[in-house]
């Protein structure tokens, strides 16, 4: 099947051809005809399968075919007729670029608004009128509060990466946005999600009208072209192993995931010390710093990009060969999104997870979600110490929900988790404060609650801060570990 058979206009087919595409992906083959019919859609597709074009192309054609918008423009106004909500700045920018690419031969105007940058240029753009608006929920509500955006004539609503928006706590913002739109029955609603949870189903029940369910793979699965492997290793040797793998295998482009923002900063600094060009990208970074780091990673100036889950959502890097889970995510679905940064658009990729004894329960949760075991391979010289006992996981993004990971009781070898109240209290005092909404206005994260019991939240480490290495059992700082490349805590 070719794009010609999907019912797209000549202008859109021309733009698709200019990008070198001739055959649609499975999600595009299924979604485009249904969306062109004006039906609501609930689509489940793995990241990297072409789902952005799957809704961008029919969205553009629907707007062109609708004469109401053309008549409005003839009267001198240009109302917002399509709204695309995304969870992160990077994904918003990616979707906006896709709309501009495929709509280049159409008389349509689009804009993108997100936090972390000045709001006045966005206001000027909105005042000149746009047909399609791509936005993050927080910044969109900033504009609504200042009455610089009118959503009363939206004909098509798209929720992209809906599962991530719910994970990030945007459900209340989404409800506020929906209140600014025409009634659900008067617009077309498209919901795209890589994973399906009960929360997603509840949102779909409220948002969609007799939707067409589109799935191109079993729910909550990963792309077949991604090779996955787990390397068991002690936590304090993860950095050493990561540097060894990158150097020994001559990996030139590696995306590494950490659980927290401060952990991303520290790991990037330590990799630089190892002689590897590295940069960190997370919610505390300015938009300019994030854009610079991503550009350097794409052009090869940065060999290793260390990222958190929130910042990495929406990263679209052609033929990215390697993704490394330096720390497993607290939420199993995030694993699917992480490794989906590789193996995109039909390319193959490799996903490596460095798993310590603390993370065995997280690994089991991930394998339960995938309904398969991930192959394990202990690398020579990095055998886990069976005497090391599991310790509580320091929550990152999940902390803003008021949950902490329970103490683990299993290990690679013998031993039980210590019931040491003093150690537990020390661990609690070092907990990550969770993802904060970054940038100006509302940004893309939610500010975490103040720590309980009088604990003071640490400030972000500056670029010259020394890494805080910790002993895997005692939790004490180790200057010697800093010299020889020991591990560090996740606070």
| Residue of 411 and 12 predicted with greater confidence | 12
CA pair distance 298, 318, nearest whole angstrom: 8
Highest mean pLDDT among 5-9, 230-234, 432-436, 479-483: 230-234
Mean pLDDT of 239-257: 95
* Phi, psi of 7, rounded to the nearest 5 degrees: 85, 20
Reported as a pLDDT band with limits 50, 70 and 90, residue 64 is very high
Helical H segments across 81-196, by residue range: 89-102, 120-128, 137-145, 162-167, 171-179
Task: Yes or no: say if 163 and 195 are a contact pair by the CB < 8 Å rule.
Answer: yes
CA pair distance 324, 107, nearest whole angstrom: 43
Is the pLDDT assigned to residue 299 strictly greater than 50? yes
Report CA-CA distances (Å) from 94 to 27, 87, 107, 238, 259: 18, 12, 20, 32, 24
| Residue of 218 and 411 predicted with greater confidence | 218
Residue 329, pLDDT score: 92
CA pair distance 401, 365, nearest whole angstrom: 19
* CB neighbour list of residue 452: distance below 8 Å, 6 or more residues apart: none
DSSP secondary structure, 84-106, as one string: EE-SSHHHHHHHHHHHHHHTTTS
CA pair distance 283, 433, nearest whole angstrom: 13
Mean pLDDT of 50-68: 89
Please report, for the chain, the start and end positions of each structural domain, with discontinuous segments joined by +: 3-215, 226-484
Query: Residue 310: which H helix or E strand, with range?
Result: helix 309-312
Reported as a pLDDT band with limits 50, 70 and 90, residue 446 is very low
Strand order in the sheet with 278-281: 226-232, 349-355, 322-325, 254-257, 304-307, 278-281
Reported as a pLDDT band with limits 50, 70 and 90, residue 318 is low
Query: Residue 333: which H helix or E strand, with range?
Result: helix 332-339
* CB neighbour list of residue 490: distance below 8 Å, 6 or more residues apart: 258, 259, 260, 263, 327, 393, 394, 396, 432
Both tokens of 7, joined, read 């019912």
| Residues facing 104 on adjacent strands | none
Query: Residue 191: which H helix or E strand, with range?
Result: strand 188-193
Task: Yes or no: say if 161 and 192 are a contact pair by the CB < 8 Å rule.
Answer: yes
Under the phi-then-psi rule, with left for phi > 0, alpha for psi from -120 to 50, and beta for the rest, what region is 75?
alpha
| Residue of 101 and 397 predicted with greater confidence | 101
Residue whose token pair is 């996903």: 351
Classify domain 226-484 at the CATH class level: alpha beta
Residue 53, pLDDT score: 92
In terms of Cβ atoms closer than 10 Å to its own Cβ (0-12, 13-18, 19+), residue 273 is middle
Looking at the domain 3-215, which fold is it?
Rossmann fold (3.40.50)
C-alpha dihedral, 407 to 410 to 416 to 421, nearest 10°: -10
Task: Yes or no: say if 60 and 122 are a contact pair by the CB < 8 Å rule.
Answer: no
Residue 47, pLDDT score: 64
* CB neighbour list of residue 412: distance below 8 Å, 6 or more residues apart: 232, 357, 360, 384, 386
| Residue of 349 and 346 predicted with greater confidence | 349
Residue 217, pLDDT score: 60
Residue 334, pLDDT score: 86
Fold agreement between 3-215 and 226-484: yes
Task: Yes or no: say if 411 and 388 are a contact pair by the CB < 8 Å rule.
Answer: yes
| DSSP, res 462 | -
| DSSP, res 371 | T
Report CA-CA distances (Å) from 344 to 218, 310, 354: 17, 19, 22
CA pair distance 222, 228, nearest whole angstrom: 10
Residue 255, pLDDT score: 94
CA pair distance 13, 237, nearest whole angstrom: 52
Both tokens of 245, joined, read 């793998």
* Phi, psi of 192, rounded to the nearest 5 degrees: -115, 135
């Amino acid at each position: 099947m070719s794009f010609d058979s999907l019912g797209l206009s000549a202008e859109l087919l021309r733009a698709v051809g200019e990008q070198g595409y001739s055959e649609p992906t499975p999600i595009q083959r299924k979604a485009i005809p249904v969306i062109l019919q004006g039906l609501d859609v609930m689509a489940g597709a793995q990241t990297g399968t072409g789902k952005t074009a799957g809704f961008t192309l029919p969205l553009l054609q629907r707007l062109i075919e609708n004469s109401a918008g053309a008549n409005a423009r003839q009267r001198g106004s240009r109302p917002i007729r399509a709204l695309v909500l995304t969870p992160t700045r990077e994904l918003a920018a990616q979707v906006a670029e896709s709309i501009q690419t495929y709509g280049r031969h159409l008389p349509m105007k689009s804009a993108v608004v997100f936090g972390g940058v000045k709001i006045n240029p966005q206001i000027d753009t909105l005042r000149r009128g746009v047909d399609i608006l791509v936005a993050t929920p927080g910044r969109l509500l900033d504009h609504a509060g200042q009455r610089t955006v009118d959503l009363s004539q939206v004909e098509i609503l798209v929720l992209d990466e809906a599962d991530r928006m719910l994970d990030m706590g945007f459900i209340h913002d989404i409800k506020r946005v929906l209140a600014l739109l025409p009634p659900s029955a008067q617009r077309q609603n498209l919901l795209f999600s890589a994973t399906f949870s009960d929360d997603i189903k509840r949102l779909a029940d409220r948002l969609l009208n007799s939707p067409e369910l589109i799935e191109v793979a079993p729910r909550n699965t990963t792309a077949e072209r991604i090779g996955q492997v787990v390397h068991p290793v002690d936590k304090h040797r993860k950095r050493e192993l990561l540097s060894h793998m990158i150097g020994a295998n001559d990996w030139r482009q590696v995306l590494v995931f950490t659980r927290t923002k401060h952990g991303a900063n520290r790991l990037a600094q330590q990799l630089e010390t190892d002689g590897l060009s590295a940069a960190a990208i997370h919610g505390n970074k300015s938009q300019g710093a994030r854009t610079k780091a991503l550009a350097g990673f794409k052009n090869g100036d940065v060999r290793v990009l260390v990222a958190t889950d929130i910042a990495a959502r929406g990263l679209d890097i052609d033929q990215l060969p390697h993704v490394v889970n330096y720390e497993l995510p607290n939420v199993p679905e995030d694993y699917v999104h992480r490794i989906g940064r590789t193996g995109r658009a039909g390319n193959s990729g490799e996903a490596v997870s460095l798993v310590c004894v603390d993370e065995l329960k997280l690994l089991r949760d991930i394998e339960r979600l995938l309904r398969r075991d991930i192959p394990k391979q202990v690398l020579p010289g990095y055998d886990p110490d069976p005497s090391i006992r599991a310790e509580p996981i320091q929550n990152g993004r999940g902390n803003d929900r008021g949950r902490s990971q329970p103490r683990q009781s299993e290990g690679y070898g013998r031993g039980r988790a210590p019931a040491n109240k003093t150690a537990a209290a020390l661990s609690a005092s070092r907990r990550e404060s969770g993802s904060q909404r970054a940038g100006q206005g509302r940004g893309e994260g939610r500010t975490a609650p103040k720590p309980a019991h009088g604990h003071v939240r640490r400030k972000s480490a500056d670029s010259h801060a020394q890494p805080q290495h910790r002993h895997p059992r005692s939790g004490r700082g180790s200057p010697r570990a800093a010299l020889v490349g020991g591990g560090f805590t996740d606070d």
